[in-house]
Amino acid sequence: MRIFAALTLAAALLCVSPAAPASAAEPGAATVVPVQVTGAPAKRFNLIILGDGYTEAEQAKFRADADRHLNVMWSIEPFKSYRNYLNVYRVDIVSGESGISCDPGLDAPRRTTPLSMGFWGRCNPASVQRLITMDNAAATRYADLVTGTTSGNRQILALGNSGTYGGAGGSYATASGSNSMSALISPHELGHSLGGLQDEYDYYQRGVPGGAYTGAEPSSAHHTLLTPQEMLDQRRKWWRWLGEPSESGGPIGRYEGGLYYTTGVWRPSAHSMMKTLGYYFDQVSREVMTQRITAKTMLIQDATPAGAPVGADRVLWVEPMRPVSHSLRTAWTVDGEELPGDRDSLDLRTLGLAPGTHTVTATVSDPTEFVRDPAIRTAMTRTRTWTVDTTITTPPDGVEPAFVSSTPTDRPLGREDVVYVETTHPAATVPEVTWTLGGRTYQGTDLDLGELDAKAGTLTATLGGRTLTWTIDATGPSTGYELSKPLARSGDTYVYNGPFTMRLTGDDDRDGYVVSESRVDGDGWFNYFGWPTSSELPWTFSEQGTVIDSLVYGRLPRGRHVVEYRSIDAAGNYGEAESFTVTTIAPPPACTRIVTGTHRGSLTVTDGVTCLDGAQVTGVVTVRPGASLVVSGGRITGALNAVRPAQVHLLGARVDGALAVSGAAALTIVGADVRGAALLSGNTAPILSGSTIKGALACTGGTPADLDVPNTVKGGSRCGDLPGGRPAERPYEAVQHVRQ
């Protein structure tokens, strides 16, 4: 196998032999593409994304898969805030065959690909189907093409050309490239590979309970045998986070199950990313990930050399790392006394130091709210110390103020980003960087756009006759939602009596993958990836949920729920969170008799469950005691009378005559059109929602629930405090809304 490499900070070079004409790249040929370079590899944590099973004609697909994985990762903390701590390189590897081995089963073909990736742990019958592994030695050879990276400062993530769910963690991480959930596998596996986090699953083999944990207190930071009180008393594990609203939903507390055991061990939250793909890291895991990401970099990238004494006639400086979300703090002390301010350079000439020697120290710390453990915060603090001798004269160094590096200028800035520049460091002066934004100027080496409430437009930084320019993307993405046909609707309030689907569509005014997410009743934000079996299918909510590969998706208990939704664009901007309300009610009973088409004459239901499914009944419908009637759509030309029925469900149907129901064990009238009067008496927990009553309405024995979808009563109402209202909007159509 021959391996070619090309590296440039702008784009990949065509991977061919210099002496040969352009032709199809042979299998194994590789091109290194710098996706994001924020500093020298030795000073950064380097993420190297390899592709396997992508032919030369499928390299655009690999680029799209990698872009989606990255943008999902940039939407998740702490990757979002510490994006600048990472260099990202993509290695485009040409495969002679499309796809990877044993996909999706052991009876699927074995394929010859550069990384030899395969499900079932590379086709091992004793392994697990969803476990994708590869030839690690081959992965290392390709990663070594990225100059300056080593096993100690990089993480390999290999994407297989597959739409089947799967992945693996460990020293190297793998994931399927284009499965609907695959972009969530990557950060989960990096939780293992980079963060050393453990799975919070309560099973190992899906569908097989994990049993009881009987071991000692786990070494894992996010598993314990301790009770919350014991954690507080002993100041162990996640005691500092107890009771906090979890980033992944619910409060931080003690939830049973984890480390592949069902009982006997506890985790911090109901469903963090290490338990359920789609949610964020909870605070406990996020703190660990923050520590591990920052530990892979040099918090102080460079500084004035500190070996020999320096003169008091010069400038001392440090270059801290540059998170996207905030600035690191640099505090200076002289002979143990702290100087006011937060700055990266100190002009010793302004201090008026007394003759002799002095000790000057710069302390760089990270004020992130992601960390509460003092030991971790200490690990995220670095110092530099100099001996200053007033008898030393600093010779001219000839260094002119100039830009050295900066926040990348080739992508838009988010409206809350902290933008930075790094400059040369003349011994005799502090370079003065002038920022210009919206006609106003600012000084310093970084600028917090969030504090300035930046608007869309252009930002410039000027120094020594050179100007850097950025475009600010201050507009959040829009999110469209589409729901399946409801029984009734009023504005953003919907009624269903069974499963319904939700599709979210994020859109932005700029290029880049948009991440959409939703949350139910204030629970954690959940990535919208479509349906687990296909990103093209909408999400399905149902009372029992849907079991897919022994996991339950979309479970929504019966009742009223507020569903919020939003999107995050490629610049990291959050769109405004909007919401809709869904009330789910009991479904009708199963039919024992179904009537469709036209039924001429009266109809009497004497027993069982009669269902009129879009039927046209030209006569009176009568329901005897103990019997049930379900009317879905269609029309009853005469009256509808029911005395002590078991159940009556009138759903999106029209009744031309009067409606009288008394003593029903269950009465549901939703989205109906009753042209005559309606008398509802003595019914148990009746529902009257999104319906039109053209005659008078009278109720006794309880006011029907309208489920926040009002009714229109034209003939007057004597029904407790049930209001008449405007008609339900488009009650029988699929609905689609877009929010900015």
pLDDT tens string 496-511: 999 999 999 999 999 8
Rounded average pLDDT over 57-70: 96
109-115 LR contacts (CB < 8 Å, sep 24+) = 111/53, 112/27, 113/52, 113/53, 114/1, 114/27, 114/28, 114/30, 114/52, 114/138, 114/142, 115/50, 115/52, 115/139, 115/142, 115/158, 115/160
Greatest distance between any 2 Cα atoms in the chain? 114
**What does the pLDDT look like over 220-251, one tens digit per residue?**
999 999 999 999 999 999 999 999 999 999 99
pLDDT in the model for residue 207: 85
pTM reported for the whole predicted model = 0.90
Contact 110, 222 (CB under 8 A): no
Q: What distance in Å separates the CA atoms of residue 420 and residue 84, rounded to the nearest whole number?
A: 11
Q: What angle do the packed helices 59-74 and 182-193 form, to 10 degrees?
A: 60
Inter-residue contact 404 to 466 (CB < 8 Å): no
Work out the average pLDDT over 334-362: 96
CB 541 within 8 A of CB 580: no
- What does the pLDDT average to over 52-67? 96
- Please list, in sequence order, all residues whose beta carbon lies within 8 angstroms of the beta carbon of residue 307, skipping any fewer than 6 positions away: none
Residue from 677, 679, 634, 638 nearest 661 by CA? 679
Mean pLDDT value across residues 636-661 = 97
- Does the domain spanning 300-389 belong to CATH 1.10.10? no
Residue 118 confidence (pLDDT): 98
Q: What number of helices (H) and strands (E) belong to the chain?
A: 8, 56
Predicted confidence band of residue 14 (pLDDT cuts 50, 70, 90): very low
Q: Is the per-residue pLDDT at 729 higher than 90?
A: no
At 720, the pLDDT band (50, 70, 90 cuts) reads low
Q: How confident is the model at residue 702 (pLDDT cuts 50, 70, 90)?
A: confident
pLDDT tops 50 at residue 740:
no
pLDDT of 22 higher than 90: no
Instruction: Give pLDDT, residue 549.
Output: 86
**pLDDT for residue 186:** 86
Which residues have CB under 8 Å from 124's CB, separation 6+? none
DSSP 209: B
701 — pLDDT class (breaks 50, 70, 90): confident
User: In this structure, are residues 612 and 618 in contact, taking their beta carbons and an 8 Å threshold?
Assistant: no
Structure confidence at residue 11 (pLDDT): 32
For the chain, the average pLDDT equals 92
Alpha helices by DSSP H, listed for 380-492, are 449-452
What is the CA angle 349-353-356, rounded to 5? 125
Stretch 159-173: mean pLDDT, rounded?
Answer: 90
> Which residues in 542-676 belong to E strands, given as ranges?
546-548, 551-553, 559-568, 578-584, 593-595, 598-600, 603-605, 609-613, 616-618, 621-623, 628-632, 635-636, 640-643, 647-651, 654-655, 659-662, 666-670, 673-674
What is the CATH code for 478-584? 2.60.40.10
pLDDT: which is higher, 730 or 203: 203
Where do the domains of the chain lie? 30-193, 300-389, 403-473, 478-584, 593-718
Distance CA 260, CA 596 (A): 51
User: DSSP label at 232?
Assistant: H
Average pLDDT over residues 455-467: 95
Residue range 127-141: average pLDDT?
95
529: closest CA among 512, 547, 516, 545?
Answer: 516
Q: Sign of the C-alpha dihedral, residues 246, 247, 249, 254?
A: negative
**pLDDT computed for residue 615 by the predictor:** 97
Mean predicted confidence (pLDDT) in 177-184: 90
CATH 1.10.620.20 fits 30-193, yes or no: no
pLDDT confidence of residue 389: 98
AA letter at 481: Y
Give the pLDDT score at 721. 58
In this prediction, residue 441 carries a pLDDT of: 96
Long-range contacts, 515-519 (Cβ 8 Å, 24+):
515/71, 515/72, 515/75, 515/567, 515/568, 516/479, 516/565, 516/566, 516/567, 516/568, 517/75, 517/565, 517/566, 517/567, 517/568, 518/563, 518/564, 518/565, 518/566, 519/249, 519/563, 519/564
Fold matches, 403-473 and 478-584: yes
Q: Name, of 126-130, 661-665, 718-722, the range with top average pLDDT.
A: 661-665
- Beta strand 440-443 pairing with 434-437: antiparallel
Task: Quote the pLDDT of residue 8.
Answer: 31
Checking if the pLDDT of 7 tops 60, the result is: no
- 214 Cβ neighbours under 8 A, 6+ residues apart: 264
- Give percent of the chain with pLDDT exceeding 70: 94
Between 3.40.140, 2.30.42, 2.60.40, 3.30.200, what CATH number should domain 403-473 receive?
A: 2.60.40
CA distance 692 to 96: 65
Top pLDDT among 672 and 10 is at 672
Q: What is the mean pLDDT of residues 277-304?
A: 95
Residue 398 has what pLDDT? 92
The three-class DSSP label of residue 188 is helix
Question: 182 and 532 in contact (C-beta within 8 Å)?
Answer: no
Q: pLDDT grade, residue 133 (50/70/90)?
A: very high
Q: Which pLDDT score, from 0 to 100, does residue 266 have?
A: 98
724 has pLDDT over 90:
no
Q: In what order do the strands lie in the sheet with 603-605?
A: 603-605, 621-623, 640-643, 659-662, 678-681, 697-700, 717-718
